[in-house]
Amino acid sequence: MKPHLPARYHKGDHLFDRTLFEASLERVEAFIATYPNSRRIQWTAIGLDPSTLYSEKDEPPTTTVSLPSSPVEQVFTPADTEAYGVPGFLAPHQTSLTKLDVIYIAAQSTVRVLHHLGLPCAIFGSLACKLYGNARTPNDVDILVLPGTLCLTQEDLKLLIVRADPHNYILRDAKDPEATYRVLHYRRNIFGPARMYQVTTKIDLVLPGTMHFPVLPLSSIAWNGDLPVIPYSLLLLHKLQAWDDHLKATECRYTRKVPADVGDLEWLLSPGRFMDYLKMTIPWRDRTIFTEEFVMLSVERVKDFCFAFPPYSVHWSEIGFETA
């Protein structure tokens, strides 16, 4: 049984009768079946969604990638998500996307591709801060990929993602002319009132062993909806590491990130249920997440941070760090 459709379909200044509209939807479905590389989402973006021709019992065949089930210990509840103001993903037909919308869509898409390839992952960096409730809009998507026994490099991962979805992912030259790597970008076509335009966001992929990231136990990954996030404790020390690295950098493109790092750390150290959890557990001796070297470096970084920002000494001491 087909759903009720209006007698006329309005699109801009044009009017289409019901028969032509339904026939067009059927042609779109046939086009997608004939040319699988075409994107259903693009037809939907201009108001031609073939799925409206089908009832719930008679849905068109589509290829979907299901995310693995979240760990039993779900860190974020629906109430948390609403309270933290983390937006959901926009419907395909919406024609107005903010920078944050595109970043969320890119994160969701990349996680799905990685899971489809059998690669667990977890988001870190400023987007992880946002998923935990920080107000600052992140600039890109940072993902820790857990390849298991597969011998993969970062460049291998980028190529796998591009080959899995060449329509939405591209590789671009790095800003450093001497770099031997390329940068992964997610791109999305937006259909505006008068034209179609494209927005992109950068995707940074890292492997365990890079920047002291561990082979993260899957049970320790936090989930916000269908987005996996590194543990709050690991995020805190990695943000501290980013602040220290950017502070000591010689290139302007890194040093100008210091104020944002400080803001993120100030938020991460603010009172709340996550900080309360760190006070109770003092997790820094967990060698499945924190190597001894990383903890020793963090101890010195905490002292440096407290020297620069004395009011935060009390917060670091409450979670087990010496501040002087």
**Are the beta carbons of 104 and 89 closer than 8 angstroms?**
yes
Whole-angstrom distance, CA of residue 224 vs CA of residue 222:
7
User: Are 206 and 157 a contacting pair, CB within 8 Å?
Assistant: no
DSSP β-ladder status, 196-206 and 182-191:
antiparallel
- The residue among 254 and 45 whose pLDDT is bigger is 254
Quick one: average pLDDT of 248-266?
93
pLDDT of residue 177: 75
Greater confidence (56 vs 21) lies with 21
Q: What's the DSSP call for residue 310?
A: G
From edge to edge, which strands make up the β-sheet containing 227-229?
Answer: 169-173, 182-191, 196-206, 141-145, 121-124, 227-229, 222-224
Judge residue 45's burial from the number of C-beta atoms within 10 Å of its C-beta, 0-12 exposed, 13-18 middle, 19 or more buried: buried
Check residues 296 and 31 and name the one with the higher pLDDT: 296
* Tokens 């950017």, residue located: 246
d(CA 21, CA 14) in angstroms, rounded, equals 12
- Model confidence over 115-169: pLDDT tens digits? 999 999 999 999 999 999 999 999 999 999 999 888 999 999 999 999 999 989 9
3-state secondary structure at position 247: helix
Confidence check: pLDDT of 110 > 80 = yes
pTM: 0.71
| Predicted confidence (pLDDT) at residue 73 exceeds the cutoff of 50 | no
pLDDT digits (tens, 9 = 90+) for 310-319: 999 999 999 9
Q: Percent of the chain scored above 70 by pLDDT?
A: 70
Evaluate if residue 196 carries a pLDDT over 70: no
Write the pLDDT tens digit of every residue in 24-44: 777 777 776 666 556 555 666
Q: With H, G, I as helix, E, B as strand and everything else as coil, classify residue 277.
A: helix
The predicted model gives 187-196 an average pLDDT of 66
List, as own/partner pairs, every contact residues 153-158 make where C-beta atoms lie below 8 angstroms and the sequence separation is at least 24, other chains included.
153/207, 154/181, 154/205, 154/206, 154/207, 154/210, 155/181, 155/182, 157/119, 157/205, 157/207, 158/182, 158/184, 158/205
Task: Tell me what the pLDDT averaged over the chain comes to.
Answer: 79
Least confident stretch, 73-82, 149-158, 271-280: 73-82
How buried is 229 (Cβ within 10 angstroms: 0-12 exposed, 13-18 middle, 19+ buried)?
buried
At 17, is the pLDDT very low, low, confident or very high (cuts 50, 70, 90)? Answer: low
CA distance 158 to 105: 18
Q: Which of 20-34, 81-95, 180-194 has the highest mean pLDDT?
A: 180-194
Are 141 and 202 a contacting pair, CB within 8 Å? Answer: yes
Average pLDDT over residues 94-109: 82
pLDDT confidence band for 71 (50 / 70 / 90): very low
Q: Are 142 and 123 in contact (CB under 8 A)?
A: yes
